[in-house]
Structure 1
Amino acid sequence: MGRKPLPLGTWGAIRTYVSHRDKKGKADRYRSVTYFRDFDGITRQVPAYGATRTEAESNLKDRCRERVRARGGGSLTAMDRFSAGADLWYAELLEKVADGTRSTGTRDAYDNALRNHVLPVLKEIRFGEFSVPLVDKVIKQIKKKAGVPTAKTSRSVISGVLQLAVLQGAMEANPVREIGRIEGGQAKRHPRGLEADERQMWFHMLNTDAKAIEADLFDITVFMLGTGVRIGETLGVIWEQVNFFTSEVEITHQIVRPKREGLRRTKTKSRAGERVLKMPSWCVAMLRARFVQGVRLTDPVFPDSAGGFRDPSNTRRSFREARSPIGSELRRDLGRALKECRQAARLTQKQAAVLIGCAQNRVSLMENGRVRIGVEEIERLLDVYSTPTGRRAEVVEVAGAASAPVAADAMAWITSHAFRKTTATVLDDAGQSARQIADQLGHARPSLTQDAYIGRKAKNPAAADALEAIADDLK
């Protein structure tokens, strides 16, 4: 039985000999040789030389790698590490961002998953060592450590890098394709829009909150409800895109703040996002009131305090504060007490949030009296702050009284995206098709609109009327 042939693009054992000696008989040149199976199927002898045995062997390995790159059609080989492929894949991603086929948000999400979750466990693995069990184990570890959403993003990153390796001949198949869907996590919440009474209460809260008035949230909400556009798209509209004669607005751009970059006005997320929308009369009236004399057509419709484009992150924070208005005097007293305890512990809000295991924004909301806090959470805070017993008892007593619900607590679920879902639900109730609503929202797929944006009640209310016809059969 003949010897099993080498796989294409690989080499066998390396043998090294002395090829020259100096006048004293000391070896000063070495020759290393191996057999390399080329991509035409023929096995050929490949030599290399060096001043030392180690140098000769290293030079031979370099020659073999160059042979693979030159004849294999790609810059990656089975001997290359995952990190090398990740660098090439990320460079291609940056090119796609530059030409507008990928968003900066996608880049930032993939960059975070790659740097923080994928490379720490895979960077030293060679492409020839990858297998389905290995990739499956890694993705499950990421899911356990960082959660389902991060695991899904990490899976996409791993798949992208390994697919590039397949295309360049370093792998025969992409093992990620053999792995099942990532299950688990919280079930998707049913889409929810604001009901009529909730909309009235929301606008009342905005009109009575000094910070909300300063942040211009009333008009921004009106525009988002009247058009169904995203918050970034809202902040990206300039006056020349508003047509008062036809009551239309052109949506072409959005405001984003990419990682390690400043505020930017870029194209919408997709081609479907570029659209011209008809506005209701009450939305047009709001815009007419804002269009004062002296406004330039290139100015944003909803500017910041300096007249430039607003930061979406800051605007979202304003919405979070508005949905949790400053509560009763007791809540404000409690907030001041918590702030004093934190400062006595010499902790910043960020440090406190890390120790407690919550968002920094929540610590800020608690200290400003803008959120309802349970006694158990207060006690956990005081434990972290190492608050003395006497002071602790005083704060807990105030917390018990301040935890009573107020009307505004019912609005704590609202985010800027809730207005978009409200628009979709209102249009659905009016009998518009999923395709029409998807066009309004800028979705390429109506299925996404139906599943994630329309807050349905009875899925088929007309069914009950149809079924009334068989009532006589029950007698």
Structure 2
Amino acid sequence: MHKIDHLLDLWEKRFEGLVADGKRSPTSLDTYRRSLKNHVRPALGELRIGEASTPHIDTVLSMIKDRAGAPTAKTCRAIISGAMKLAVRYGAITVNPVREVDTIEAPPKNPPRALTGEEVTLLRQSLSADERAVEADLPDLTTFMLGTGVRIGEALAVLWHQVDLEAGTVQVTHTIARLKGEGLIRKSTKSKAGERLLHLPNWAIAMLRTRHATGILLEAPVFADTIGGYRDPSNTRRALRTALSPVGNTARRVLGLSLRTLRRETDLTRKQVAETLNWPRTRIELIETGRTKVDHQTVATLVATYGIRLDNHHPLLAQVHDATQPAESDKLTWVRSHALRKTTATALDQAGHTARQIADQLGQAKVSITQDIYLGRRIANPAAAQALEQAFDQPDIL
């Protein structure tokens, strides 16, 4: 007859104990707490444990999936299932009602995609030419990630004493994470497989030597923030996304500045314009900063709120024409930090390394994850036809 809220308290306390013992990650606890607060407790907290039937939980999870997405629904299912296992263990119920709940299926993920050699060159050139990217230390960070295949949190956790420039190696033992109420912490990697010694390519060693020559402290991060402390992985990902947005097109920046000036002349805020057009506020910001593609209709709709007819405003019309032309930087808009990791894995795969060797490089315990998620194969096996020809010498064709 106890409420499920009480059971969830017990489950959360038990998980906290596992975190304290080093058997679970504190970031996992943070994720579960968010799901508990936002989804599980509001939906089930006031129910009695005995009232938590399979149909009821199935309905709740379906609603969470529709509202928050399949990944969140899977997290909530794991929480509820763990709590109900605890109830079975304590004798409150005899069967875990989550066991027969329908499987939560997400849309198929996009196949792994790695950068080509030309795209890697374009990436490094684009970042080096972007002042904001250079200020955010992105050129060197992406070079290090491409040369090691490490996660972005792992790259930010590397200290100088873990780098051996003479041997050309780096020790990866920790990652950076942000915990609610604690801020940034440097914690051990997700699993023992994450602790590894990696050999660096010469171009990555050269980059580290240049950074090392500027003067460093052995206990300082290799990629530190402006005051020498740890960098936030989320902020770094955001900086990378911003740098890889189509800002390389000067015409888009010019158009964005013109649109911002027109908005300010009408004394409208971005929020007011977004509410008028029923657009996300961030869309106005992206347009005015030149970090998104635009077309004639989008600009015409926007300036109409300023009392301007685009077709009658010839200077602005010319800017729109220039801004809609393709830009070289558009080729990189799909790139995220994990694409660098996939690029490293795919390069090793094409060089003939085994899946186990690549998994060890990436710090993954399961080879299947490496094969399914990180190897972006693009080249068919030309030797397959020859092998089949030798195996089946002129078989009968029916």
One fold, TM greater than 0.5? yes
Aligned partner letter, 1:157: I
CA deviations over 1:291-326 (Å, ceiling 9, x no partner): 126421101111111122212122112211221253
Does residue 209 of the first structure (1) align with residue 130 of the second (2)?
yes
Aligned residue number for residue 257 of structure 1? 178
More helix, by proportion: 2
Deviation per CA, 1:329-363: give whole Å up to 9, x if none. 431233224445666433459987x95348x4x65
Mapped to 2, the partners of 1:177 and 1:377 lie a distance apart of 49
Question: What is the CA-CA distance between 1:94 and the residue it aligns to?
Answer: 2.4
Q: Specify the SS of the correspondent of 1:189.
A: coil
* TM-score normalised to structure 2 length: 0.89
2:282 is the alignment partner of 1:356: no
One-letter amino acid matched to 1:92: R
265-274 or 188-197: which moved more? 265-274
Matched, 1:95 2:17: yes
Aligned to 1:443: 364
Q: Deviation of residue 388 (structure 1)?
A: 3.4
1:387 paired residue number: 305
Q: Which runs of 5+ in 2 are unaligned?
A: none
User: Aligned pair 1:345/2:263, yes or no?
Assistant: no
Counterparts in 2 of 1:81 and 1:337: CA distance versus 1, 3 Å: farther
Whole-angstrom distance in 2 between the partners of 1:377 and 1:127: 53
Change (3 A) 1:418 1:267: same
Q: Secondary structure at the match of 1:320?
A: helix
**Structure-1 residue corresponding to 2:164:** 243
CA distance in 1, matches of 2:300, 2:308: 13
Q: Which residue of 2 aligns with 1:369?
A: 290
**Contact persistence 2:247–2:329 (CA under 8 A):** no
After superposition, the Cα gap between the structure-2 partners of 1:471 and 1:408, relative to the gap in structure 1 and judged at 3 Å, is farther
Q: TM-score, normalised by structure 1?
A: 0.76
User: Is 2:66 the counterpart of 1:144?
Assistant: yes
Distance 1:211 1:349 in 2: 29
> Which position in structure 2 is the counterpart of 1:320?
241
1:400 to 1:106, Cα distance in 2 relative to 1, 3 A: farther
Q: Provide closer, same or farther for how the CA distance between residues 474 and 209 of structure 1 changes in structure 2, counting only shifts above 3 A.
A: farther
State the Cα distance separating 1:413 from its structure 2 match: 0.4
Partner of 1:453: 374
Aligned residues: 391
2:113 is equivalent to residue 192 of structure 1:
yes
Larger relative contact order (C-alpha < 8 A, sep ≥ 6)? 2
User: Are the counterparts in 2 of residues 85 and 165 from structure 1 also a CA contact under 8 Å?
Assistant: yes
What secondary structure sits across from 2:98 in the alignment? helix
CA gap 1:113/1:396 in 2 versus in 1, 3 angstroms:
farther
Aligned partners of 1:255 and 1:265 also within 8 Å: yes
Superposed CA offset, 1:417-459 (max 9, x none): 1110000000111111111111110111000000000001246
The 2-side partners of 1:338 and 1:256 are apart by 38
Which one has the largest radius of gyration?
Answer: 1
Q: Percent identity?
A: 47
Structure 1 residues 83 and 198: CA distance shift in structure 2, 3 A:
same
Residue 125 (structure 1) aligns with? 47
Which letter does structure 2 place at the counterpart of 1:261? E
Question: Is the 2:341–2:374 Cα contact (8 Å) retained in structure 1?
Answer: yes
Return 5+ residue gaps in structure 1 as ranges. 1-78
Structure 1 residue 371: deviation in Å?
Answer: 2.2
